Amino acid sequence: MTIEQIYNQFYNQTFNTVRQMVKSTHDAEEVTADVFVKVNRLLPTFDESKSAFTTWLYTITKSVVLDFFKTNHQDRFKAVSDFVTREGNDVFTFNTSERADDLIRKQENEAKIAEAFRSLKPKYRKVAILFFLRQNSHAEICEILDLPLGSVKGMISRAKDVLQEQLAGMRHMA
């Protein structure tokens, strides 16, 4: 099977598994892309006599999700005791309303971007995730998806046009 066939056949199942683990659609899309990059890299090592393909894919998925939490989100989950003094008083601090507005705007922008990516046709979404989110080179995308360079460049261009159209007028957050 080619990586494109694997991607097409197992993307939804893998995305749903990842989404249950990371709880964020945006993060799940990124992690799922990472899963397929790793699958592509490790595909020559798959041995069907040792396990079913789905078992192998699930093992890679769990590994990538664990790496995601270890490297990118170490501080995402805090113990409740981290926010309480020895006397039992809450130590939550809130930013100014301007800072909260910025945070809300950023979350809204991330949701709009994620929705824009989801609205792309699957073949463009694959390329867009690899190029714009994972920052793979054209050559890497050609190798991962087993496509010619001209096709990859065309798909990136069309995906970019659709994304720009859908995200026009969105306020940029630094």
The domain segmentation of the chain, as residue ranges, is 1-75, 118-165
Inform me whether the pLDDT recorded for 85 exceeds 50.
Answer: yes
Inform me whether the pLDDT recorded for 159 exceeds 50.
Answer: yes
The pair of three-digit structure tokens given for residue 63, joined into one six-digit string: 């590994």
CA gap 63, 47 in Å, rounded? 18
Q: What is the CATH topology of the domain spanning 1-75?
A: Rna Polymerase Sigma Factor; Chain: A (1.10.1740)
CA gap 33, 126 in Å, rounded? 8
Inform me whether the pLDDT recorded for 92 exceeds 80.
Answer: no
Q: What is the mean pLDDT of residues 120-129?
A: 86
* DSSP line for 141-154: HHHHHT--HHHHHH
CB within 8 Å of 145: residues ≥ 6 apart: 3, 4, 7, 126, 127, 130, 152
Predicted pLDDT of residue 99:
55
Maximum pairwise Cα distance, the chain: 65
The percentage of residues in the chain with a pLDDT greater than 90, rounded to a whole number, is: 22
The percentage of residues in the chain with a pLDDT greater than 70, rounded to a whole number, is: 78
What is the band of 106 on the pLDDT scale with cuts at 50, 70, 90? confident
In the three-class reduction of DSSP (H, G, I as helix; E, B as strand; rest coil), residue 11 is classed as helix
Q: What confidence tens digit (pLDDT) does each residue in 28-53 have?
A: 898 999 999 999 999 998 888 888 89
- What region does 146 belong to: left with phi over 0, alpha with psi -120 to 50, or beta? left
Inform me whether the pLDDT recorded for 95 exceeds 50.
Answer: no
The pair of three-digit structure tokens given for residue 155, joined into one six-digit string: 């798909």
Multiple choice CATH, 118-165, 1.10.10.10, 3.30.2270.10, 1.10.4080.10, 2.40.30.10: 1.10.10.10
In the three-class reduction of DSSP (H, G, I as helix; E, B as strand; rest coil), residue 20 is classed as helix
Predicted pLDDT of residue 66:
85
Which residue, 49, 42, 3, 26, is CA-closest to 132? Answer: 26
Q: What is the mean pLDDT of residues 53-76?
A: 80
What is the band of 118 on the pLDDT scale with cuts at 50, 70, 90? confident
